[in-house]
Amino acid sequence: MKKLRSIFLFITFLTILFLAPAQAREVSLRILYVNDFHGFAEPYKPVGSQESLGGVSYLAAEVNKLRKEKPALLLAAGDMIQGHSWANLFRGKSSIALMNLMRFDAMVVGNHEFDFGQDVLKKRIAEARFPVLGANVEGFKDGLKPYVIKEIQGMKVAIIGVVTPDTPQATHPKNVAGLKFLPPAEVVEKYLPALKKQADLIIVLSHIGYQADRDLAARAPGIGVIVGGHSHTKLLEPTVINQTIIVQAWEHAKALGVLDLTVEDGKLKSFQGRLEMIKAGQMQEDKAVRRLVKRYGMRVNAVLGEKIGEAALDLDGEHVRMRETNLGDFLADILRQAAGADAAIINGGGIRTSIPQGSITIKDIYAVLPFDNYLVAIRLTGKQIREALEHGVSGVEEGAGRFPQVSGLSFTFSRKAPAGSRVKEVLIGGHPLDPQKEYVVATNDFMAAGGDGYQVFGEALKSSPDFANVGGMLKGEKLVYNDAGRWLREVVIDYIRNQKKVAPQVDGRIKEMD
């Protein structure tokens, strides 16, 4: 009887064990993220700010502190290796060394990762001790992965990376020769079914811009989180679209994004997100990162630390994507004068930072003009100039880099009008623009080749019967000035050296109508 009783109790225990509801498995995950770093390793004062912001040694210390509190992933949403002289002088090698030291878990390529060319990018990817993603980049071999799967406390997290399809217009065409940038949403939708089978949580690491992230979330259900970049959006709190959480952390290491998730049995149970603002001198510093930043910084200063002049006031490079600025006027004037042109049109996105009042060094100019572009001047009709200006203001709402900074001409526009019909009065040399007359317009080789979507420039140049583009060197009878042997920044450096002191003012070249 005792034996039968024992068997009965054992069977009862097994029945209760198997029929009882399973204990829910709950996992906490912290996602730390940055985007659009652009090599701004050292703190700086943006125009209008009274305090220094950023400083990657301070950001790294904050990462270390937050990592200790709970399991975390550290992600980068693109444009990490190019921009400031701290990165550019080493063609992004310093940025990768920094990211290795900080133990990043994954990064997606941004459009500016291609600015040094594909061979250099392959070297940077080979140096990285973390996966570099680009699911929608077709034709790039040696290192780019579509996605990676990480395991955190038994939970599998899939991270897929996509970059803006506008990359061929955002970098020099020679840098992306042979590559295709497929529509991000289509690519993500293609991978989602397989990723859902492999992972409990899907993260899209995106360099397509905030509005495109919103559109992606609305179109492709099943994405847990989109960590975004490209638009430099300062999202203080997460946005939720179609049950997908969207985050982005501003720019230049001035903020660290923090997103805390609770996942229960593969389903997102709760979340909380914020930006931690990085303020130099008010936070702890990571000593190892500080040493690395200083080591590369000393090499930059040794090459680029020479003083060449003085700015009598702040030169505004912060607002060049939305309105006329004194720095935009100043640079456009230099190009027009150097080329002996009737006018100059340059893309605001080619101006990467401001110059504060005080001493101007070579490093400052390299930071403002980091791209290897040279000065050209081409013949354009008045009709083509108007088309170029229309294109330039067509994306002012989102702060697109194609916004024009000009010299030798003035114009009015209305953002309330449909794109393509926004430009009103245009004057060149104080006279109304003649649609049929041909003018000489100074610009850079990037725009002349159709960069930033300025197709009218590229089409005008290609209309020359002797047009040629040999390894990025433009030729053709429409090209009346071609200074291919000298970068734009060298032209600007020489000008400031001669002037000694500069104090450009905004003089109303671009007026926005109500």
DSSP output for 338-367 = HHT-SEEEEEGGG----B-SEEEEHHHHHH
Amino acid at site 153 = Q
For residues 60 and 75, what is the distance between their CA atoms, to the nearest angstrom?
13
| Extended beta strands in 287-334, E state | 307-311
Q: How far apart, in Å, are the Cα atoms of 302 and each of 295, 299, 307, 355, 486?
A: 11, 5, 12, 20, 21
Dihedrals φ, ψ of 164, to 5°?
-55, 135
- Measured between alpha carbons, how far apart are the two ends of the chain, in Å? 96
Name the band, by pLDDT with cuts 50, 70 and 90, for residue 261.
very high
Contacts of 215 (CB under 8 A, 6+ apart): 185
412, burial (CB in 10 Å: exposed 0-12, middle 13-18, buried 19+):
middle
Q: How many residues does the chain have?
A: 514
Residue 474: is its pLDDT beyond 80? no
Assigned token pair, 158: 């899939």
**Distance between CA atoms of 224 and 233, rounded to whole angstroms?**
20
Instruction: Please answer whether residues 185 and 219 qualify as being in contact, where contact means their C-beta atoms are separated by less than 8 angstroms.
Output: yes
From CA 296, how far away is CA 299, in angstroms rounded? 5
Q: Provide CB contacts within 8 A for 186, sequence distance 6+.
A: none
In angstroms, the CA 412 to CA 410 distance is 7
What is the C-alpha separation between 159 and 149, in angstroms, rounded? 6
Q: Which of 163, 273, 173 is nearest to 213 (CA)?
A: 163
Q: Kindly list the domain boundaries of the chain, sorted by start residue.
A: 26-295, 308-512
Nearest of 45, 64, 66, 69 to residue 55 by alpha carbon? 45
Is pLDDT at 105 greater than 60 in this prediction? yes
Amino acid at 454: Y
| pLDDT for the residue 20 | 43
Whether 294 shows a pLDDT value over 90: the answer reads yes
CB distance 206 to 162 below 8 Å: yes
Mean pLDDT of 196-219: 97
pLDDT band at 491 (very low <50, low <70, confident <90, very high): very high
Give the residue among 249, 261, 271, 234 at the shortest CA–CA distance from 77. 249
State residue 90's pLDDT score. Answer: 98
The torsion angles phi and psi of 382, rounded to 5 degrees, stand at -60, -35
Please give the average per-residue pLDDT across 245-269, as a whole number. 96
* Residues sharing a CB contact under 8 Å with residue 23, sequence separation 6 or more, in sequence order: none
Beta-bridge mates of residue 28: 262
φ, ψ for residue 175, nearest 5 deg? -75, -20
By the 8 A CB rule, do 206 and 226 touch? yes
Cα-Cα-Cα-Cα torsion 244, 250, 255, 258, nearest 10 degrees, comes to 0
pLDDT tens for residues 9-59?
A: 455 544 444 444 445 689 999 999 999 999 999 999 888 788 899 999 999
Helix (H) / strand (E) element for 407: namely strand 404-407
Q: What is the 3-state secondary structure (H, E, C) of 256-296?
A: EEEEEEEEECCEEEEEEEEEEECECCCCCCCHHHHHHHHHH
The one-character DSSP state at 249 is B
Which of the four pLDDT bands, split at 50, 70 and 90, describes residue 471?
A: low
What DSSP letter does each residue of 14-56 carry, written as one string? HHHHHHSPPPP-EEEEEEEEE---TT--S-B--TT-SS-B--H
- Which residue do the tokens 């009218």 mark? 456
Top CATH class of 308-512 equals alpha beta
Does the structure show a pLDDT above 90 at 468? Answer: no
Confidence class for position 111, pLDDT limits 50, 70, 90:
very high
196 pLDDT higher than 60: yes
Digit-coded pLDDT (tens) for 321-351: 999 999 999 999 999 999 999 999 999 999 9
Name 168's Cβ contacts closer than 8 Å, sequence gap at least 6: 176, 179, 181
Residue 3 has pLDDT above 80, yes or no: no
Q: Is 110 helix (H, G, I), strand (E, B) or coil?
A: coil
Q: What is the pLDDT of residues 353-383, one digit of tens each?
A: 999 999 999 999 999 999 999 999 999 999 9
Task: Give bridge partners of residue 277 from the DSSP assignment.
Answer: 255
pLDDT-derived band of residue 465, with 50, 70 and 90 as boundaries? confident
Determine contact, residues 457/440, Cβ cutoff 8 Å.
Answer: no
Quick check: 26 and 269 in contact, CB under 8 A?
Answer: yes
463 confidence band (pLDDT: 50, 70, 90) = confident
Residue type, 351: I
In the predicted model, what is the mean pLDDT of residues 268-280?
Answer: 96
Mean pLDDT, the chain, rounded, equals 94
For domain 26-295, give the fold: Purple Acid Phosphatase; chain A, domain 2 (3.60.21)
Mean pLDDT within 120-134 = 98
- Report CA-CA distances (Å) from 343 to 180, 249, 329, 386, 391: 35, 38, 12, 12, 17
Mean pLDDT of 67-85: 97
Which DSSP state fits 5? H
What does the pLDDT average to over 235-253? 98
